[in-house]
Amino acid sequence: MTSKLPLILNIETSTKNCSVALFSGSNLISEKSLLSEKHSHSETLTLFVEDVIKKSNYTLVDLDAISISKGPGSYTGLRIGVSTAKGLSYSLNRPLISVSTLRSMAFYMSQKQSNYDLYCPMIDARRMEVFSSFYDKDNNQLRAVMADIIDENSYNKELKNKVLFFGDGSNKCKDVLTSGNAYFTDNFSPSATYMGILSLEKYNNKDFEDVAYFEPFYLKDFVIGKKN
């Protein structure tokens, strides 16, 4: 007799991409996403959850866990995503899992393009600042997540290796990071579809969040009046 694979709903709202994906074990069952300049997550997220569940022929009560991309990223996007995930977790009495946004980006990219030494996911943080971290091809984090102001001397140590930069923050770095070891991938955004295996790993390890006290990883304090 085979055991049932855990059914995990993954939610990603840390950037302009609003994304929801349902996984059974490591298998993607259904997904929906929208990349919008309007940051319309508050209008679309719950509809996406409903659509993804409906397309799968499951119901919400069939879920075994809710997984949320915890940041860093847009303050507003993270707040909306985490509030929705916590609401589902609480109402369904299901565990809450959190996955680092940058780790899930690096995990996906290292699976798709394995010929680099280091992977640097970047999320735009306005002007020449980015949220970034470094991972090896086995998804081991080699440097903590930081808010970096990019100039011609940035990442000199890391760029002794072949580094792939990607994410919406990397677009503005191409003309500044001119090392022959700096490579770039365009048009790459975080997605709930990248979270499935990482969420499953946390589920199997019972690595759950406290629903009442969990907060997104904003990295920087939110300043009223600034656009996210």
> Is 42 exposed, middle or buried (CB count within 10 Å of its CB: 0-12, 13-18, 19+)?
middle
Counted domains in the chain: 2
Instruction: Provide the pLDDT confidence category of residue 40 given band limits of 50, 70 and 90.
Output: confident
For strands 7-12 and 65-69, give the pairing.
parallel
The pTM assigned to this predicted structure is: 0.92
| Cβ atoms 193, 21 nearer than 8 A | yes
Does the residue 220 lie in any domain? Answer: no
Q: Report the candidate in 121, 128, 181 with the shortest Cα–Cα distance to residue 157.
A: 181
Return the pLDDT at 3.
60
Both 75 and 117 in a single domain? Answer: no
Both 63 and 170 in a single domain? Answer: no
Return the pLDDT at 1.
36
**pLDDT cut 70: percent of the chain above it:** 94
Q: What is the rounded average pLDDT for all residues in the chain? A: 92
Helix (H, G, I), strand (E, B) or coil at 72: coil
| Tens digits of residue pLDDT in 70-122 | 999 999 999 999 999 999 999 999 999 999 999 999 999 999 999 999 999 99
Domain with residue 87: its CATH number is: 3.30.420.40
Q: Print the domain residue range for 86.
A: 7-100+190-204
CA distances from 187 to 2, 81, 170 (A): 40, 22, 10
- The first and second tokens of residue 102, run together, are 């940058």
Both 121 and 107 in a single domain? Answer: yes
Both 157 and 194 in a single domain? Answer: no
| DSSP symbols for 89-140 | HHHHT--EEEE-HHHHHHHHHHHH----SEEEEEEE-STTEEEEEEE-TT--
* Mean pLDDT, residues 57-82: 95
Return the pLDDT at 227.
39
| Cβ atoms 140, 110 nearer than 8 A | no
Does the residue 211 lie in any domain? Answer: no
Helix (H, G, I), strand (E, B) or coil at 81: helix
Both 139 and 95 in a single domain? Answer: no
